[in-house]
Amino acid sequence: MGRPKATLEIAGQRLLQHHVDALSARVPDIVVVLGAAIVDVVGARVVVNPEWSSSAQADSLRCALLRIGPGPVVVTPVDASPVRSRTLDALISAGGAAVPIGADGVPGHPVVIDAAIADAVRQAPPAGGLRALLSGATKVLVDDPWIGVDLDTPDAWARWAALWTTERP
């Protein structure tokens, strides 16, 4: 992408801030883990992963989980599309660990982890990442074409940004 994903901007605001704003209506305690770039975020606590360049995403998740209490946790990477409210409602309503599944059968983000999964990640980052721990999670079919968006390349960013300007949730 040419720069840290936490600094990417769309519609005059960082993508990271769009994530926080989308979660804030239903998630009372938002923790953002930063590493490659330290930026201001309104409405969230910022935690820095000092080993971001040599660690996996699960290590950043562990940094966040060590600073919050027990209970279900909504987890999303910064390089996904911000969650739509109806998708977030469906995931939270599942009542435990939950993974959104699109019409194409592909899982996406965000996911909800339950207290048991959160405790396992607090003990040690899982081998195989969070996906391995979510194998028994409730699969929630959602009508949301954005759950599988992965903003890892400039082309993916450009395609998503064009949609965001016309179909923003």
Q: In the numeric block, which tokens belong to residue 95?
A: 């009542």
Q: What pLDDT shows up at residue 37?
A: 84
Supply the pLDDT for residue 96: 93
Q: How many CA atoms lie within 13 A of 152 on its CB side?
A: 4
Q: State the pLDDT at residue 1.
A: 65
Domain count, the chain: 1
Per-residue DSSP letter, 54: G
**Cis peptide leading into residue 154 (ω within 30°):** no
Residues 6+ apart with CB under 8 A from 45: 29, 30, 31, 32, 67
**What pLDDT score was predicted for residue 130?**
84
pLDDT at 163: 84
| Positions in the chain whose pLDDT score sits under 70 | 1, 168-169
Q: Domain residues for 23?
A: 5-167
Q: CB neighbours (10 Å) of residue 148?
A: 17
Output the pLDDT for position 102: 92
List, in sequence order, every beta strand (DSSP E) within 40-162: 45-48, 73-75, 98-101, 111-113, 138-141
Q: d(Cα 92, Cα 56) in Å, to the nearest integer? A: 26
Q: What is the pLDDT of residue 168?
A: 65
Q: What is the CATH number of the domain that holds 50?
A: 3.90.550.10
Give me the pLDDT at residue 56, please: 75
The model carries a pTM of 0.91
- For residue 64, what are its two tokens? 């966040």
